[in-house]
């Protein structure tokens, strides 16, 4: 609707159909200012109606507010009706399970979806209460539904919400990928040409029983078969993880869990953190302080919808350090390989996203397993055949592919607890375990540079400049070759990605961010020469050289 009309007229039509008193009043006040000749109000209408949110990485995500470029009940109704039409085009009697987290608007968006799905003739099942995203992903497979919808903005700022879509059947509960995303989007645009007031609704949807949650807890707890006591601090970061995670940990035999009380219960304002993302500087400070006071051995942090996990370990100097996503990724991969071998299975695949550390590929090759690299996002990782384990460096891990085909921060937390429990039972310090990995597979180091720009046009300009003037060295390390994904590369579709291979096995990947006005550089180095200490020192030194080199190469840009 917003793309065909003048933005102001589109705003009037939007307000007329908006069932939400708050966003309708917001829009009506804005229109009143437009009618009074306020140019700022007209410009604001333009920012809300100059397009519409489209299905991206996993569905919709954006700031709450009125208009098609915001998350609100009108947009969600259009999405639900469009998804219903898509499902009905695929099968005669489709079904959908719907979950929601503790963010502002999540429960209302979920109930709107259930009513509209039921009104369209789709069997709709609403989860019994606010729950983590992995429970919804599990429910798609457990209940055998055609699709799943999770209302969440994951670790985005408090002002955001989102709408994540999974497909069952031949998609096995994975997130949507092309061409399904474009087909669903086309149905949503068709629905948006009319008024949501005309869409049929029904209260004849089902409410799932607690059994689906119980089943998730049982399956996840089974990932730690022989627990050894650990004192652990856990934070839900004001999200929905605590209740489910605590049940799982207890069922697995980890009972000495200290919760970060100020962050335990769902709070959509996220009052103790600037951004509810464990990767952000300072986000885990409260957890580390709690761990020090409690004499804990380990810190576990979920993001607000509990599909990601961060891990904190003692730093040896009385403080704490957060392991990087890659460090957790390759260590859980090594554990997955050992467990897989113990089951006398000689085939399987390890997978990670293209921008994650090459370490997992080294593990796979050394242990005789297949390895797959994918584009970023678990919608790709989860679809790898014969998958044993997958991860991406942004704190996402898939440790139980038979149960959930998405990143799962609670299952991954149990795998971390099991790993540290096993080490403690064997009398092995974590640093010794890290050294054993470096001894077997080599030492690795990873880093990242994010260049924020004030104008999105600067990003393609930067990428074009790199293509026109490819570097011959970075930080004094010789460039051996550059893979350009612009026209497709191997099995990868065309993507705005450059992969720079350097002497000694180092690598730099440059790509635009999919969610922010940033150019992102992923730096990875490795060394398998000399002692473990010498290997790590060499990898760290190469990483420092790459970091300085890339910053120099791209210096002078906005906000750099």
Q: What is the DSSP annotation of 316-367?
A: SSSSEEEPPHHHHHHHHHHHHHHHHHHTT----EEEEETTS-THHHHHHHHT
Which residue, chain included where needed, has tokens 């707890």?
Answer: 221
Q: How many CB atoms lie within 10 A of CB 464?
A: 10
Length of the chain: 560
- Selecting among 95, 106, 154, 421, the annotated active-site residue is 154
Quick one: which of 511, 305, 303, 315 has its CA closest to 395?
A: 303
Quick one: which of 140, 141, 156 has its CA closest to 98?
A: 140
Rounded distance between C-alpha atoms, residue 413 and residue 79, angstroms: 33
Write the burial class of residue 206 (CB in 10 Å: 0-12 exposed, 13-18 middle, 19+ buried): middle
Strands (DSSP E) along 94-187, which ranges? 95-100, 123-126, 147-151, 160-167, 174-175
* Cis amide bond preceding 503, omega within 30: no
Q: What is the DSSP annotation of 443-498?
A: EEEEEEEEEE-SSTTHHHHHHHHHHHS--SEETTEEEEEEEE-TT-BTTBPS-S-E
Rounded distance between C-alpha atoms, residue 493 and residue 73, angstroms: 34
Judge whether 353 counts as a catalytic residue. Answer: no
Q: How many CB atoms lie within 10 A of CB 6?
A: 12
Q: SS3 of 374, please?
A: strand
Q: SS3 of 558, please?
A: coil
Quick one: which of 276, 211, 292 has its CA closest to 240?
A: 276
Write the burial class of residue 325 (CB in 10 Å: 0-12 exposed, 13-18 middle, 19+ buried): buried
Rounded distance between C-alpha atoms, residue 159 and residue 140, angstroms: 28
291 and 173 Cβ atoms separated by less than 8 Å: no
Rounded distance between C-alpha atoms, residue 364 and residue 531, angstroms: 22
Quick one: which of 16, 10, 24, 151 has its CA closest to 68?
A: 10
Rounded distance between C-alpha atoms, residue 103 and residue 159, angstroms: 9
- Would you give the DSSP letter of residue 58? S
Quick one: which of 339, 338, 344, 276 has its CA closest to 310?
A: 276
Rounded distance between C-alpha atoms, residue 219 and residue 235, angstroms: 22
Rounded distance between C-alpha atoms, residue 23 and residue 112, angstroms: 16
Question: Catalytic positions, please?
Answer: 154
């Amino acid at each position: 609707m917003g793309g065909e009309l003048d933005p102001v007229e589109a705003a009037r039509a939007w307000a007329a159909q908006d069932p939400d008193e708050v966003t309708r009043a917001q829009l009506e006040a804005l229109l009143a200012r437009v009618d009074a000749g306020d140019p700022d109000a007209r410009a604001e209408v333009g920012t809300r109606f100059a397009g519409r949110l489209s299905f991206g990485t996993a569905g919709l995500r954006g700031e709450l507010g009125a208009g098609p470029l915001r998350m609100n009940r009108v947009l969600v109704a259009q999405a639900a009706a469009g998804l219903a039409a898509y499902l009905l085009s695929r099968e005669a009697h489709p079904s959908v399970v719907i979950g929601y987290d503790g963010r502002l608007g999540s429960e209302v968006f979920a109930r709107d979806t259930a009513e509209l799905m039921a009104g369209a003739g789709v069997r709709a099942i609403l989860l019994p209460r606010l729950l983590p995203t992995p429970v919804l992903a599990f429910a798609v497979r457990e209940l055998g539904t055609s699709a799943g919808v999770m209302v969440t903005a994951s670790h985005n700022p408090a002002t955001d919400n989102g709408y994540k879509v999974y497909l069952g059947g031949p998609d096995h509960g994975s997130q949507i990928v092309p061409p399904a995303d474009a087909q669903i989007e086309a149905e949503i645009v068709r629905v948006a040409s009319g008024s949501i007031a005309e869409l049929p609704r029904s209260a004849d949807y089902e409410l799932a029983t607690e059994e689906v949650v119980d089943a998730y807890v049982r399956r996840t707890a089974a990932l730690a078969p022989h627990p050894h006591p650990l004192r652990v601090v856990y934070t839900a970061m004001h999200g929905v993880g605590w209740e489910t995670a605590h049940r799982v940990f207890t069922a697995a035999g980890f009972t000495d869990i200290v919760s970060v009380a100020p962050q335990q219960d769902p709070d959509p304002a996220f009052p103790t953190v600037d951004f509810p993302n464990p990767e952000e500087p300072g986000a885990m400070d409260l957890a580390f302080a709690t761990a020090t006071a409690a004499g804990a051995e380990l810190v576990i942090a979920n993001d607000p919808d509990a599909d990601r996990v961060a891990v904190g370990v003692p730093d040896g100097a009385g403080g704490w350090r957060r392991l990087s996503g890659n460090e957790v990724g390759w260590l859980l991969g090594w554990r997955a390989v050992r467990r897989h071998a113990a089951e006398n299975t000689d085939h399987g695949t390890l997978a990670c996203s293209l921008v994650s550390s090459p370490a997992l590929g080294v593990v796979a090759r050394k242990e005789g397993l297949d390895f797959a690299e994918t584009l970023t996002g678990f919608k790709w990782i989860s679809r790898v055949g014969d998958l044993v384990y997958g991860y991406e460096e942004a704190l996402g891990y898939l440790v139980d592919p038979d149960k959930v085909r998405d990143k799962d921060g609670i299952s991954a937390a149990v795998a971390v607890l099991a790993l540290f429990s096993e080490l403690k039972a064997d009398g092995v310090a974590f640093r010794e375990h890290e050294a054993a990995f470096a001894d077997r597979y080599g030492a690795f180091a990873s880093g990242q540079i994010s260049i924020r720009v004030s104008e999105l046009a600067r990003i393609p300009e930067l990428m074009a400049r790199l293509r026109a003037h490819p570097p011959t060295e970075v930080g004094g390390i010789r460039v051996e070759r550059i893979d350009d994904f612009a026209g497709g590369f191997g099995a990868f579709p065309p993507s705005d990605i450059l992969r720079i291979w350097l002497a000694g096995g180092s690598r730099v990947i440059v790509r635009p961010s999919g969610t922010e006005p940033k150019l992102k550089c992923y730096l990875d180095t490795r060394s398998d020469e000399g002692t473990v200490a010498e290997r790590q020192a060499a990898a760290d030194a190469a990483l420092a050289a790459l970091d300085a080199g890339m910053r120099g190469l791209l210096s002078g840009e906005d906000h750099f």
